[in-house]
Amino acid sequence: MSALFEPITLRSLTVPNRLWMAPMCQYSAAPDGPAEGAPGDWHFQHLAARAAGGTGLILAEATAVSPEGRISPYDLGLWNDTQTEAFRRITDFLKAQGTVPGIQIAHAGRKGSTERPWVNRGAPVLPGQRHGWEPVAPSPVPFDDGFTTPAELSVAQIRELVAQFGASARRALAAGFQVVEIHGAHGYLINEFLSPFTNRRTDEYGGSYENRTRFALEVVDAVRAVWPDELPVFFRISATDWLTEDESDAREGWTADDTVRFARDLREHGIDLLDTSSGGNAPDAKIATGPGYQVPFAERVKKESGLAVGAVGLITEARQAEKIIADGQADAVLLGRELLRSPSFAQHAARELGAEVTLPQQYHRAV
């Protein structure tokens, strides 16, 4: 029996296998007009192909809770009825293939208002330029050279953002999603609040660990309040900013110890799985990459907090993914680039591991 192709049940939802698709921005939504931020044909084929390929759970890309919450003007959003309705075509198809549809809801914070990655290397789009806006953050600290200094959020604005996350989660449910993931990683808004590297506030949302985690936990509570008890909520985190791992770097950042502590808090607030990534908050951090380089963070969280975890990071081979699950390092693996290269990776992995995976009838001749 293959551990990778064993079902997993979270709350009342059973996912058919442990091989899942991580959220990957496509930067392919309309930037304005009646279909602004809504998924189209590109998003349908992108997600549908991986479902037909046997992926157990698919998380749609970082989807903004407000227009200003996008990374680029070409990002998906979930702040109006047109967007909600457009997602139903996708969720209906994924369910028909036996795949669980999930969505990541997000706010880009100080990393917002940029070009698509393949246009001028994702350079900032400045306020006043076409499709540009003023980004916001916990503190007025720009992401990198050339980026706009973000406006510091007021307490009233923070509370409005919490409400926007709750509203987007409600729309995600109406759109047919069965999992919602809160994006708290990669230097985007929630991560910016968590880390002392980017959070320089002196009010109730800054300073101490308890204050820096307040916004994230308020978002979790707002989402959990509108999400059915029988369905799971995930949280994606950067387990470390990769600052304190470098002894030559004196900057203070979010650490793996913080992540373990926070995982316990998230569990108390109703989070069912921690999608464990790293980095993205300090553009010049030194990150030691390699096959499965982020798996140890997930393993530690699982062992020390008791929270279910997903592992990510250069997982590219079936037997590598199988070992992660079989050895108890994680409860699921989330693939990114490998699923871009091979939409039917799950089918190939099942064949290699001697397991079974649900295939569309149209593809049975390939078995």
For the chain, the farthest-separated pair of C-alpha atoms sits apart, in whole angstroms, at 63
Written as six digits, the tokens of 154 are 């007021």
Give me the pLDDT at residue 362, please.
86
Q: Considering the domain boundaries, does residue 317 fall inside one? A: yes
**Start-to-end CA span in the chain (Å):** 18
Residue 367, pLDDT > 80, answer no
Domain boundaries, position 265: 1-355
Q: Considering the domain boundaries, does residue 366 fall inside one? A: no
Written as six digits, the tokens of 75 are 């990002």
Q: Considering the domain boundaries, does residue 361 fall inside one? A: no
Written as six digits, the tokens of 302 are 């699982």
Residue 195, pLDDT > 90, answer yes
Helix ranges restricted to H, the chain: 41-52, 81-96, 155-174, 189-194, 209-212, 214-226, 256-268, 295-305, 318-326, 337-341, 345-353
Pairing of strands 8-10, 13-15: antiparallel
Q: Which of the 8 DSSP states describes residue 183?
A: E
Q: Considering the domain boundaries, does residue 175 fall inside one? A: yes
Give me the pLDDT at residue 232, please.
98
For the chain, the domain total comes to: 1
CB 10 within 8 A of CB 48: no
Residue of higher predicted confidence among 161 and 361:
161
Give me the pLDDT at residue 186, please.
98
**Per-residue pLDDT tens digits for 1-25:** 899 999 999 999 999 999 999 999 9
Residue 366, pLDDT > 80, answer no
Pairing of strands 179-184, 100-106: parallel
Give me the pLDDT at residue 31, please.
97
Q: Considering the domain boundaries, does residue 362 fall inside one? A: no
The residue from 188, 205, 209, 363 that is catalytic is 188
Closest CA to 124 of 110, 139, 107: 110
Q: Quote the mean pLDDT of the chain.
A: 96
Residue of higher predicted confidence among 31 and 288:
31
Give me the pLDDT at residue 135, please.
98
Give the three-state DSSP class for 8: strand
- Residues 6 or more apart whose CB falls under 8 angstroms from that of 312 comprise 22, 275, 276, 277, 294, 298, 333, 334, 335, 336
Give me the pLDDT at residue 365, please.
75
**Per-residue pLDDT tens digits for 125-141:** 999 999 999 999 999 99
Q: Considering the domain boundaries, does residue 10 fall inside one? A: yes
Per-residue confidence band for 361, with pLDDT thresholds at 50, 70 and 90: confident
Give dist(CA 210, CA 215) in Å, integer: 10
**Per-residue pLDDT tens digits for 288-319:** 899 999 999 999 999 999 999 999 999 999 99
Specify the CATH number for the domain of residue 238. Answer: 3.20.20.70
Q: Does the annotation mark 188 as catalytic? A: yes
Q: What is the pTM of this model?
A: 0.97
Q: Considering the domain boundaries, does residue 360 fall inside one? A: no
Give dist(CA 95, CA 200) in Å, integer: 44
Written as six digits, the tokens of 40 are 């189209």
Q: Considering the domain boundaries, does residue 365 fall inside one? A: no
